[in-house]
Structure 1
């Protein structure tokens, strides 16, 4: 069921995904083609905000902050997983793996490599402040538009 809190949560995580994706591209390898990286992360942000954060609104201010942190953590997890899976398939098409289990392990290895890029201070700051603000804004939307 569409609610204002789901919409606000989805928009907040979409904006966070857009900002962080831009920071990752700026800090990443020069000359690398990122393709649909930003768009995929924005879609994941929308889905995580709508499904995870939006339905948990209305439980108080402390729960709102925890809700924002949970939503951003889910966004980071799914972003690393989806981008790692995409990169694994690209490498698999170039016959880089000896078998299917090696390819499945590569998803997590690639995800960890991508996760290391998130350890830049400006990205961590953006994720943290964005999580708190998105949780609070989602709670405000729930209380205002029931």
Structure 2
């Protein structure tokens, strides 16, 4: 059921996803991110905000902070998963894997590679502060308009 908290959560995490995408472009090799990088981050942010953060709103400040951090981690996981999945498909088209099981395992190896590549202080602070602030905004909206 649509609520104001879900809408604000989608907007907050969509914006956080785009902020992460913008800040992370410098950490790609030769600053060349995939062409789908910005829409992917914004879209996943919208979905994570609506589904994860928005549905759990209205349980207090401490729960809001935890909710925001949970949604932020989910945002990063799904972004890394989809980017790794596309990379795996591209590698498998070049016969880089011996079979389908190795390709699926390759997705998780690529997720680890992206996690290490983007393990930077500025990105961590951005995601932590952005997630906490978003969680608090969502709690404020849920208390005010629910």
Shorter-chain TM-score bucket reads over 0.9
1:23 maps onto 2:23 in alignment? yes
Given that 2:17 and 2:41 are in contact with CA atoms closer than 8 Å, whether structure 1 keeps it comes out as yes
- Counterparts of 1:85 and 1:31, CA distance in 2: 20
Moved more, 87-96 or 31-40: 31-40
Gaps in structure 1 of 5+ consecutive residues: none
Aligned to 1:83: 83
- Counterparts of 1:9 and 1:29, CA distance in 2: 32
Q: CA deviation at 1:32?
A: 2.9
Gaps in structure 2 of 5+ consecutive residues: none
Q: CA distance change for structure 1 residues 62 and 31 in 2, over 3 Å: closer, same or farther?
A: closer
Q: CA deviation at 1:117?
A: 2.4
- Counterparts of 2:118 and 2:62, CA distance in 1: 26
- Counterparts of 2:33 and 2:117, CA distance in 1: 16
Q: CA offsets, 1:49-84, max 9 Å, x none? A: 000000100000000000000100111111111111
Considering only aligned residues, what root-mean-square deviation do their CA atoms show, in Å?
1.1
TM-score, normalised relative to structure 2: 0.96
Given that 1:17 and 1:45 are in contact with CA atoms closer than 8 Å, whether structure 2 keeps it comes out as yes
Give the count of matched residue pairs: 146
1:40 maps onto 2:44 in alignment? no
1:71 maps onto 2:76 in alignment? no
Aligned to 2:121: 121
Q: CA deviation at 1:25?
A: 1.1
Q: CA deviation at 1:118?
A: 2.4
After superposing on structure 2, the runs of 4+ consecutive aligned residues of structure 1 that deviate more than 2 Å are: none
- Counterparts of 2:68 and 2:128, CA distance in 1: 9
Aligned to 1:94: 94
